[in-house]
A and B are shown apart, each in its own frame.
Chain A
Amino acid sequence: MRILTYIRQVLDAEESVHIANHAVALENSKLVMDTMDEYGVEEALRLRESGIEAEIVAVAVGPARVQDALRTALAMGADRAIHVETDIRLDAIAVSKVLSQLATQEQATLIFSGGQQADWDSHALAAATAERLQWPQVTWTSALELKGTTLTGKHDADEGSEFFTLELPAVVTTQQGLNEPRYPTLPNIMKSKKKEMRKESLDQFGVTPKLKFVTAEVQVKDRLNKILDGKDAPAAAAQLVDLLRNEARVIA
């Protein structure tokens, strides 16, 4: 079988956010593979290590720098990569048009994608891709097992979690808790440099985004920052309760 893992490159969670020209400026910031996508790469590798014959293809859409994140996926163990290069920022519905066509071309039967994007906070890519392919989907998985073409596992729902079973092909979203992603070892980083990184141009996919990004702002809510010293616990407790009752008026 062939597994596609969709990879995104995002601002490292520890970095602060800067705005320039009405958008988040990423130059000079540390960029990493979206953590949510790492779980997908790891899960694909584990499926293969469990004895399933699978080729793992890492896919990304984005500017030239995105290939660094694809290299990370290759260094973790993915077999090859496809980079659809564009400087245009595309929304998830637009990207799903690319990903679904690649899945068809590559005859993939399983696609992994992160549950929520750490930059656009979007959940939409997996479902949109599944719909275009007319495949089922399962989101927010926390346990997966594949036997033949039957995928079973556990995923998070609105309240609590559900156990499911599903026949491939399918699109699956991943998240923290599904597994513990491995760090690329030095020999694997060296090996990954020789792995195939195919470049594709966006043109052939016929993408016309319907969403326009107008502005971005960092709105920081002013906080009072009244922080008390708690060495004398009864005194600090009395003072805090007084502030919450009589200043903030949030408790009775």
Chain B
Amino acid sequence: MILVVVEYANGKVSKSTWEMITAAQDSAKDSGRDASITALVLGSNVAAIAAEVAKAVDQVLVADLPALTQYDPELWSAAVAQIATEGEASLVLIGGSRSGREYSPRVAIKLDAPLLEDVITLKAAGETLTAQRYTYLARVTETIEAAAPIAVVTIKPGVFNPATPKAESAEQFDVDLSLPTPRLKITDKTVERTSRVGLTEAEIVVSGGRGVGSAEGFTQYVEALADQLGAAVGATRAIVDAGWRPYSEQVGQTGKTVQPKTYIAIGISGAVQHLSGMNKSKTIVAINRDAEAPIFKIADYGIVGDVTQLIPAILTELKK
């Protein structure tokens, strides 16, 4: 069986989970392997999540425990490794989120399995798995291979088409886990919530860089354009470091990777670390007053000019 560890947020199954289910289906096609998909839901008060995901898989395993209220790499890896072993999984799929990428290596070590990180394609043939992934800050596409009875794979978000739920629901089972005591104690959190569509789920992302001038400039130009287009907002590291925007909006090597249909970069120079988080976007639009800015090299459309004049003009035009 293929084990998919369900990712969810704010009471809903995340898009990344539906993408993992497609990756699981893709991998099993013509492989001669057991292609049944088991979803594993870890957390506390997750009945709604389990019911939602049951519509797209063959079986749902639920560990609904107070001990799983807070994500922890040691807890999650112990749970996933135990279920993978008991269920004799051949493939364990984990989301390519920050947490997924953090605990998946522990699962691989526990299972003595290869780890294929952040894959964008996945094919199985007998015991051999072949996958592609981006390397060199997303400038290179590499093909990797592993032959093993069980493998751990993280799925790059935003690449596979999300699976569509069916009418009937798969059976759900509660599971018993023997869990370690977490050693990383979380004492406080700063959760940054936005009323806009999520950055990694949005069809259009409008991002701003230092060229917007100030935190106020970001609101005046980037947020205004995003709201006009129903888009999510993103930011460069430079302005996150400057305190203009929260870290949760950062796009790039140390922030989020996005792959929207349209990415609009406003006052962003286009450093490789930023590009690595958005260079797979379908259409890229750039506005920058420097014609030599590297962002224009990967832009489909752009204007060389001043943000303070161009964005108000674009907003006027959009309202026509």
Q: Which residues of A contact B (CB under 8 A)?
A: 11, 13-14, 17, 19, 24, 91-93, 96, 115-116, 118-128, 130-132, 136-140, 152, 156-167, 175-177, 210-219, 221, 223-231, 233-234, 236-238, 240-241, 243-244, 248, 250-251
Q: Does residue B115 face the partner (Cβ distance < 8 Å to A)?
A: yes
Q: Which residue of A lies closest to B72 (CB)?
A: A136
A-B contact pairs, 10 of them (CB 8 A): A13-B271, A158-B71, A164-B185, A177-B237, A216-B142, A219-B141, A227-B302, A230-B303, A230-B304, A238-B317
A120, B134: Cα distance in complex, Å? 8
Interface size class of B (residues with CB under 8 A): 35 or more
The 8 Å CB contact of B134, one of A92, A121, A248, is: A121
Residues of A within 8 A of B73 (CB): 127, 136-137, 139
A234, B246: Cα distance in complex, Å? 32
Q: Which residues of B contact A (CB under 8 A)?
A: 9, 71, 73-74, 77, 97-99, 101-106, 108-110, 113-118, 130, 133-146, 148, 183-193, 204, 229, 237, 241, 246-248, 253-254, 261-262, 271-273, 276, 279-280, 282-287, 289, 291, 296-306, 309-310, 313-314, 316-318
The 8 Å CB contact of A137, one of B184, B279, B283, is: B184
Q: Are B187 and A250 in contact (CB under 8 A)?
A: no
Question: If A216-B143, A233-B313, A250-B204 touch, does A227 touch B299 (CB 8 Å cutoff)?
Answer: yes
Q: Are A216 and B97 in contact (CB under 8 A)?
A: no
Interface of A, secondary structure class, is: mixed
Q: 5 closest pairs, A vs B, by CB?
A: A230-B305, A237-B313, A210-B114, A136-B183, A127-B105
CB A251 to nearest CB in B, in angstroms, measures 6
Q: Are B98 and A158 in contact (CB under 8 A)?
A: yes
The 8 Å CB contact of A123, one of B117, B141, B191, is: B117
A123, B116: Cα distance in complex, Å? 11
Q: Are A214 and B99 in contact (CB under 8 A)?
A: no
The 8 Å CB contact of A116, one of B130, B142, B254, B318, is: B254
The 8 Å CB contact of A132, one of B109, B134, B313, is: B109
Interface centre among A119, A221, A250 (most CB of B within 10 A): A250
Residues of B within 8 A of A221 (CB): 279-280, 298
A159, B201: Cα distance in complex, Å? 14
CB A115 to nearest CB in B, in angstroms, measures 7
Interface centre among A19, A216, A217, A230 (most CB of B within 10 A): A230
A215, B145: Cα distance in complex, Å? 10
A-B contacts besides A17-B136, A132-B109, 16 pairs, CB < 8 Å: A24-B140, A91-B115, A92-B105, A93-B115, A121-B134, A124-B101, A127-B73, A158-B9, A160-B189, A166-B184, A216-B135, A216-B141, A216-B143, A229-B303, A237-B303, A237-B313
